[in-house]
């Protein structure tokens, strides 16, 4: 081999090695930071003309890329804005002689770089408000400005079976020191109650008005404003017996800690109640409602699933070793479908983060969207929270691919040049 050929071989070896290193870096980079979220538009959920977006609160981790799909079951489109991040035109569902066929709109992917609580809103539709909660990567530096929040939750009768009334939505998030006002919109013709004992809240909720034509006119009760000055996970409850499901008529107020407030809660036993609603987002699109269960790190967690569907479902929460537990189907009794209850194996939530649980038995076209989230807040405010979602680290992959292409082009040009010299 002559000197020129030797140099060519050495250069080609070096370039090839560089190519392989860059390619390997792009493939074996850090864990992916992508979280997939599914929203549903529900017309008239709170009464005629009172449309809603479900779920009312979505959780992601700071610096993760967020991919949101909005399934519109209404025949009207609208402009949706996510405060501080993005906006999108949501396409209407398709009107047909047999009703509205839902249409999905994909929100352009964005990076949740700023922690905090951000409003998801629709211009001209105050009822269609939900919230994006971006959990801080470093809680010790999280210091948002004081804010005031005005939330509305519905009381929906018999949504999980006769006598199983529910608050909807049922998860709300504020920062420590914020002022909070709740409005309880009662769609039931029975009175209810609303209490958060830790903040001295205990009010009677006025009943809806029976219009004698088979419909109820909702009535709204305003809860006195209070300051959520102590961080924690608080359960609000109905205080007026309303049926066999009374004890499960609960919701969650999450008060996030911030800089200067040490948060070290004592571990306790938490009960998470969710139920399965078939076809909630269109035929074959079953859902867990509520879709969020929030606890503190170290809590012992019991999850009860009430299945109002005649199909069998599954439940998987991988990070806590719960794999494909069977959720019993509802049972027909005297021509009526009676819901069944399934208790998931209890576990200790020892890992802070946001963890997806999902149906692990195929249940229809929307099976992949039948998901929910367990949110585990860190035991100490100085700990970092991570999420379990993993995919592709986009910036690193893009830079790796770009480098790979450039090196490939360089190698190609050199090979062409050497052929000409030879």
Per-residue DSSP letters for 217-265? E-EEEEPPPEEE-S-EEEEEE--S--STTGGG-EEEEEEE--TT----P
Please give the structure tokens belonging to residue 152: 């509305």
**CA distances to 20, 402, 411 from 13, in Å:** 11, 20, 10
Predicted pLDDT at 182: 98
Predicted pLDDT at 213: 82
pTM: 0.84
Q: Count the helices and strands in the chain (H runs, E runs).
A: 2, 37
Strand, helix or coil at 198? Answer: helix
Please give the structure tokens belonging to residue 30: 């850090």
**CA distances to 53, 78, 87 from 365, in Å:** 21, 25, 27
Q: What is the DSSP letter of 97?
A: T
Q: Is 17 exposed, middle or buried (0-12, 13-18, 19+ CB in 10 A)?
A: exposed
Q: What is the CA radius of gyration of the chain?
A: 26
Residue 31 makes CB contacts below 8 A (sequence gap 6+) with 390, 393
**CA distances to 159, 208, 218, 220 from 211, in Å:** 20, 9, 10, 16
Cα–Cα distance between 363 and 352 in angstroms, integer? 30
**CA distances to 129, 269, 284, 303 from 243, in Å:** 29, 24, 29, 21
Q: In angstroms, how far apart are the furthest CA atoms of the chain?
A: 101
Block residue for tokens 């190609």: 412
pLDDT tens series, the chain, 422 aa: 444 444 444 444 444 444 443 444 444 445 558 899 999 999 999 999 999 999 999 999 999 999 999 999 999 999 999 999 999 999 999 999 999 999 999 999 999 999 999 999 998 899 999 999 999 999 989 999 999 999 999 999 999 999 999 999 999 999 999 999 999 999 999 999 999 999 999 999 999 999 888 899 999 999 999 999 999 999 999 999 999 999 999 999 999 999 888 888 999 999 999 999 999 999 999 999 999 999 999 999 999 999 999 999 999 999 999 999 999 999 999 889 999 999 999 999 999 999 999 999 999 999 999 999 999 999 875 454 444 443 333 333 434 444 444 444 444 554 444 444 44
Note whether 225 and 181 are within 8 A (CB). yes
Please give the structure tokens belonging to residue 289: 């409602």
Predicted pLDDT at 311: 96
Strand, helix or coil at 27? Answer: helix
Predicted pLDDT at 32: 54
71, HSE (Cβ side, Cα atoms, 13 Å): 21
């Amino acid at each position: 081999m002559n000197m020129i050929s030797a140099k060519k071989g050495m250069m080609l070896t070096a370039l090839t090695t560089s190519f392989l290193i860059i390619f390997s870096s792009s493939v074996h980079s850090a864990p992916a930071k992508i979280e997939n979220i599914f929203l549903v538009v529900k017309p008239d959920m709170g009464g005629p003309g009172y449309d809603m977006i479900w779920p009312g609160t979505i959780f992601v981790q700071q610096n993760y890329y967020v991919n949101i799909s909005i399934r519109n079951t209404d025949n009207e489109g609208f402009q949706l804005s996510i405060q501080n991040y993005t906006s999108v035109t949501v396409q209407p569902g398709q009107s047909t002689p047999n009703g509205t066929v839902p249409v999905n709109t994909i929100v352009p992917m964005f990076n949740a770089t700023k922690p905090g609580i951000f409003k998801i809103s629709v211009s001209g539709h105050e009822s269609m408000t939900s919230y994006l909660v971006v959990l801080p990567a470093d809680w010790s530096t999280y210091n948002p400005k004081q804010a005031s929040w005005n939330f509305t939750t519905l009381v929906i009768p018999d949504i999980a079976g006769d006598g199983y009334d529910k608050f909807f939505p049922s998860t709300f998030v504020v920062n420590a020191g914020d002022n909070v006002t709740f409005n309880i919109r009662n769609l039931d013709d029975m009175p209810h109650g609303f209490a958060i004992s830790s903040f001295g809240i205990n009010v009677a909720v006025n009943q809806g008005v029976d219009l004698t034509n088979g419909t109820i006119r909702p009535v709204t009760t305003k809860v006195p404003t209070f300051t959520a000055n102590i961080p924690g996970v608080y359960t609000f409850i109905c205080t007026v017996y309303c049926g066999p499901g009374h004890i499960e008529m609960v919701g969650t107020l999450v008060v996030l800690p911030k800089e200067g407030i040490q948060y070290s809660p004592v571990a306790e036993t938490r009960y998470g109640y969710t139920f399965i609603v078939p076809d909630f987002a269109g035929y074959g699109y079953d859902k867990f409602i509520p879709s969020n269960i929030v606890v503190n790190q170290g809590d012992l967690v019991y999850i009860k699933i009430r299945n109002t569907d005649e199909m069998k479902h599954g439940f998987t929460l991988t990070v806590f070793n719960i794999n494909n537990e069977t959720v019993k189907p509802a049972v027909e009794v005297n021509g009526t479908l009676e819901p069944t209850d399934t208790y998931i194996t209890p576990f200790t939530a020892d890992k802070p983060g946001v963890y997806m649980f999902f149906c692990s038995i195929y249940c229809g076209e929307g099976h992949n969207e039948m998901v929910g989230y367990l949110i585990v807040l860190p035991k100490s405010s100085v700990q970092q929270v991570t999420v379990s979602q993993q995919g592709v680290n986009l910036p690193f992959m893009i830079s790796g691919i770009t480098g790979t292409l450039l090196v490939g082009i360089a190698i190609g040009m050199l090979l062409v040049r050497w052929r000409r010299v030879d």
